[in-house]
Structures are given as structure tokens and as C-alpha cells.
A and B are shown apart, each in its own frame.
Chain A
Amino acid sequence: MMDEQHLIFGKSLTLMQNDSTLIQQLKNKDERALSLLYDKYSGSIYSVILKMIRDEGKAQNLLQDTFMTVWDKAENYDAEKGRFYTWVYRIAKNKTLNMLRKSDPLIQTDDFSVHNNKEDAISIEPEYLELNGAVTTLEAHHKEAIELVYFKGLTHREAHQEMNVPLGTFKSYVRQALKQLKITYAKTLSLILLILNAL
């Protein structure tokens, strides 16, 4: 488990270096930059879309659509306000939520009902719905809180009802979970830095 994390961290560290250059090139309509940024982020984004919509065909269309928007609206991205990944994540999440609402117009008005039909959605490998990495080491209710808001696209309001706990409690679940993740990642990061220094 730790080895795998090192690998992923190492990968993300090397990838991080060229991001601002790549994004500038993307804004200048450089297709090569889009291709490289796609290689870097498509896996994470595809996973989120898949877990939300639970349909591989739709997820692939949404993924393509997301990166089309990234291409078209690249000039709207402001590095001062946040990371590129966060920006892409929000685009993907909005597109997926819109799709979910469209596909079930009858319950469109209901705040969180878009997720109530999840048992019907099938066309997906079950393993795609499983979580990996540090999040699996969390306590079950912390893990679920993260899964709901981050991977299933529920709002805090929807998620606390889903878990059947008060909103304040749910918020503290999220906060605790993130704190735990941060510690785990920081440990891994320092380990990697140690290894890098040793090299």
C-alpha cells in the first residue's frame, strides 16, 4: 500500500512541475498541452464522473465534453483562485449533475432525488465504484462522507440526509476525514522527500 502511494505521489510530483507552462500553452490553443493535461487529469476526472453517473458510455461522453469545455474556456481559468484540477473537477461535476437531472425530468425539482434512482443504473463494472488509496484507511463514516460529497457529487445538504445525521455532524465528519487524509499524505510526502534526498 505504501509503495503504491509513493509511486502515485512521485508521479504527481513530477507532473506538477510543468503545469503552469502547460496551462499557458492551453490558453494559447496548443493541442499538445491539452493532450498532456488530459493524460494527467483524465483518470481522476473519469473516476469521479463514473462513480456519479454509473454508466461507462455516458461517463466517456461526459469526460470528452468536460475536456472540450476545458479547451474552449481555458482563458476563464484563474490560477490565483485555485488549482487546475479543482477547476476541471467542478466542470465535470456540473456536467454530470446536469445530465443526471435531464435523464429524470419527473424528479427534477426534488433537491436530491437525482441520486435516488442509483439502484437502476447498471452498465458499469462494480470495481469502478470501489475506492482506493488513503481514503480506505479512514473510519467507515468518514470514508462515506468523503465518498458522498467528492465522488457522488452530493451537496453537504443532500449527503447529511443520505447518511441520516445532522448537517453539523456531517460537516465535522468531512473535516475529520480531510484532517486524517492530510496527515497520511503529509507522511507519504515527507517519506518521498526523504527518499529523494537520499538519492
Chain B
Amino acid sequence: MMDKKTLLENGLLEQYLLGELNAKECEQVEQLLASDTELKAHFDQLEQDFETLGLENAITPPPSVKSQLLEHIASSSTKATKVVELNQNNNIKFYLGIAASVAALLMIGSFWMYSQLNTVKQQLETVETNNTELNTTIEVLNKELEQTNTFYTAIVNPDTEQYILEGNDLLPEAKVVSYVNHKNKSVVINTERLPKLDDEHDYQMWADVEGEMINMGVIAKDKTLMTMAYIDHAESLNITIEPAGGNDHPTVEKLVTNVYLN
């Protein structure tokens, strides 16, 4: 059995370093080195000194040796690459799996996108319908506003005269306010206080010009403010009850109210 002392005295450490020992001796030296840190430190020093000795005596080899070496290794690693490529064939299933998963995800994604697109289309249609409705409403409102403005300007115009037609005995609760502008030649009436008639009858308005009654128009049932025809040289305004749709000549017995203009 080898011990530290014989190891040092017989120069076995040096011979071990130089690779002179057989396998069994090597093993014994390695065991001692592993168990003895002092010995290991000594061996480390020895190795370092041998390495320095080698470095001091280095002779640079021709560069061709290195290039050949690297070429050799490159070609052998190409072979290794070929083996890897074969393995890659085995991996095709794996990559196919990945590809299939990606495709499936894409399909699901597309389907989802499609359904989303349909929903959005429907929403867009609703919005468009709403928009049209709103536009119509706005148009209607605009028209009404225009009308109202027309009435308003007509009524508040300083040239406008106001005549009130009070109901006679036939229709005592009736009251129609008329706004007549002789300059603009316009007539606007407020029929808010005119009692409702059945479907077979309408109120009709007449102007009296030198004894002749001239039609000013049928009073609409669904409006409270409306424009009537202006008749030149009218002496009075008269309202009669006529069959629905109006009459060519007034039914005098059905005169419900009148007012004189001067």
C-alpha cells in the first residue's frame, strides 16, 4: 500500500504527472491526492511548474496544422449533423402536430372573427335604421320648426292685425283668432277653440268681397295653427260648416262665426 511518504520519496507524483504509471498505480496516487489537500496542493504546484516549463519552450507549429485540424472537425461535425437530420425526420410528427395546432387555432380564430363580423354587421344595420329614423324625425322637426317660425313671424309682424271670430248662437263656445297681414297678404288662424266636428263635416273659411263669398280654404282638423288664402279687398271673414272636403259655395245657414275687417 502506497503512503504519502513513499509517494514523495519515490518521485511517484512526478511519474504520475508524466504519465509513466500503470492504471493501478495511477488509481492509488489519485486516491491519495483526493484525500490529502496538502499533497494535492503540492501536485498542483508541480503541474503548474511543468506547464510553465512547457510554455517557456513552446515552438509555434505551422498554421496549416490548425487549419487541417479545424477542417477535420468541421467535416466530422457535418456527419454528426446528418445524424441529427435523421432525428429531425422522427420529429416531423411533432412539427406536424404543432402545424395542426396552429391551423386549428387559426380556424377557430377565423370562425370567431366571422361570427363577430356578422354581429357587427347586424349592429351596423340597426344603427343605420336608427340613423334614418332620426334623420326623418329631424326633417319632420325641421319642417315643423320652419312652419312654426313662419307662423311666429307672421303673427309677431307689426303689420299683422288680429281679428277674433267669436262663435254665434249656433256655436257659442267657438273662438278663432285670425292674424291678417295686408302688406304680406297672409292669413294665419288659430283654431284651438273650435269645437271638433264629425268625419262628415269640415269648417270652411270665406272672405266677403263686395257681397260675394270667396273660398279661403277648408280648415284642417289636425292642426291648431294654419295658413289660409289671402283674398284682396275682403270686407269680412266667415266660417261655415260644410260637408267634408269643403263646398263651392257657403251654406249660409251654417255660418258659425264672422268678423269684419277695417
Dominant secondary structure of chain A at its interface with chain B = helix
B221-244 interface code vs A (CB 8 A; 1 in, 0 out): 000000000000000000000000
C-alpha gap A72/B109 in the complex (Å)? 51
C-alpha gap A93/B56 in the complex (Å)? 18
Given A43-B58, A44-B51, A135-B56, check contact A67 B20 (CB 8 Å). Answer: no
Total contacts A-B at CB 8 Å: 138
By the criterion CB–CB under 8 Å, are B14 and A135 in contact?
no
CB-nearest residue of chain A to B10: A171
**Tally of chain B residues near chain A (CB < 8 A):** 42
By the criterion CB–CB under 8 Å, are A71 and B73 in contact?
yes
Residues of B within 8 A of A185 (CB): 48-49, 52
By the criterion CB–CB under 8 Å, are B57 and A44 in contact?
yes
Identify A133's interface contact among B10, B18, B57, B70, CB under 8 A: B57
Query: Which of A28-36, A104-112, A115-123 is near enough to bind chain B?
Result: A28-36
By the criterion CB–CB under 8 Å, are A64 and B58 in contact?
no
Interface size class of A (residues with CB under 8 A): 35 or more
Dominant secondary structure of chain B at its interface with chain A = helix
A131 within 8 A of B: yes
Given A44-B58, A64-B65, check contact A31 B52 (CB 8 Å). Answer: no
Residues of B within 8 A of A94 (CB): 19
6 A-B pairs with least C-beta separation: A133-B56, A43-B58, A44-B54, A90-B19, A171-B11, A46-B61
Chain B interface (Cβ < 8 Å from any Cβ of A): 10-11, 14-15, 17-20, 30, 33-34, 43-62, 64-66, 68-70, 72-74, 77, 80
* 30 A-B residue pairings within 8 Å (CB atoms): A5-B56, A12-B51, A29-B80, A31-B70, A35-B66, A38-B69, A42-B65, A42-B66, A43-B58, A44-B54, A44-B55, A44-B57, A59-B61, A64-B65, A68-B72, A83-B51, A93-B18, A132-B56, A133-B56, A134-B56, A135-B53, A135-B57, A149-B20, A150-B50, A155-B15, A156-B20, A171-B10, A174-B14, A175-B11, A181-B49
